[in-house]
């Protein structure tokens, strides 16, 4: 088990117009494998220190995301990732190249920000987080379709629904330790989105309502009564992303 998580603040980013922003696949000369990297608009990255010479050691590794509930997030960071047992696409660690898919509340819970935390997240009312990871491309053993019974057109304008889940080969290990240099997946940071109202009101979240969503805490942790959220949607309540 790790004793601490080291931060690497010089790589912290805000992904938004006027901050770090690009359209389409990034073209910055860094080799991130055979997969495109799109701007995770609306999210902030708190970057972790992984190793010196990161770009050299992880040349050709692809960026992906893993959405998880708050209580599991810290455990993952300290203990590594447990491969999923019974999942739609077989055993392995489930990741996605789409942050908009990773943050569905089935995966990444929506958490109300209470008074105490307001000092950090000033005008925020809700927060979500997902883990930013790098995977070794040859260890993506399966690329598959979304598994939230989505009935609409597109979850992410940049990524096809049929290629939105990446199953990472866990090589029969019980745990994938991010400190292990032979691990096929490493965690490079935590992606955070703070909003002044419920993130289920954001335009990019409207696909949730054409997929599986429920108010059961064990399943979709939405941090609000689902009927109340639906009423807010019907009254066209505006939700803003907060970057301060
Ligand atoms: Zn659910």
> CA angle 141-144-147, nearest 5°?
130
What's the CA-to-centroid distance between 220 and ligand 1, angstroms?
A: 4
**Summary mean pLDDT of the chain:** 90
Q: Are 110 and 198 in contact (CB under 8 A)?
A: yes
Per-residue pLDDT for 199 more than 90? yes
Average pLDDT over residues 183-198: 93
**Ligand 1 centroid distance, CA of 41 (Å):** 25
How far, CA to CA in Å, does 146 sit from each of 62, 97, 100? 19, 12, 12
Task: Find the 222 Cα to ligand 1 centroid distance in Å.
Answer: 9
Q: Residue 1: is its pLDDT beyond 60?
A: no
pLDDT at residue 91, as a whole number: 76
Quickly state the pLDDT bin for 2 (edges 50, 70, 90): low
Kindly give the distance from the C-alpha atom of residue 221 to the centroid of ligand 1, in angstroms, as a whole number.
Answer: 8
Of 142, 166, 177, nearest to 63 by C-alpha is 166
Whether the predicted pLDDT of 86 surpasses 60:
no
- pLDDT recorded at residue 21: 97
Q: Are 36 and 30 spatial neighbours (Cβ–Cβ below 8 Å)?
A: no
CA of 110 to the centre of ligand 1 (A): 13
Residue 148 C-alpha to ligand 1 middle, in angstroms? 9
């Amino acid at each position: 088990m790790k004793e601490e998580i080291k931060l690497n603040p010089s790589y912290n980013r805000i992904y938004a117009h006027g901050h770090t922003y690009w359209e389409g696949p990034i073209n910055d000369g860094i080799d991130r494998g055979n997969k495109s990297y799109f701007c995770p608009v609306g999210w902030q990255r708190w970057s972790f220190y992984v190793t010196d010479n990161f770009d050299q050691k992880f040349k050709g590794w692809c960026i992906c995301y893993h959405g998880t509930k708050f209580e599991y997030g810290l455990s993952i960071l300290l203990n590594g990732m447990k491969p999923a047992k019974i999942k739609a696409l077989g055993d392995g660690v489930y990741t996605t190249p789409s942050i908009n898919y990773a943050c569905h509340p089935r995966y990444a819970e929506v958490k109300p920000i209470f008074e105490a935390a307001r000092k950090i997240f000033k005008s925020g009312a809700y927060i979500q987080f997902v883990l930013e990871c790098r995977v070794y491309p040859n260890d993506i053993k399966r690329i598959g379709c979304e598994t939230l019974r989505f009935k609409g057109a597109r979850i992410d304008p940049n990524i096809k629904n049929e290629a939105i889940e990446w199953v990472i080969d866990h090589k029969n290990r019980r745990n994938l330790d991010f400190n292990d240099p032979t691990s096929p997946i490493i965690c490079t940071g935590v992606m955070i989105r703070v909003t002044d109202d419920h993130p289920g009101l954001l335009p990019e979240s409207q696909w949730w309502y054409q997929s599986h969503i429920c108010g059961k805490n064990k399943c979709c942790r939405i941090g609000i009564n689902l009927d109340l959220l639906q009423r807010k949607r019907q009254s066209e309540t505006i939700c803003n992303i907060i970057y301060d």
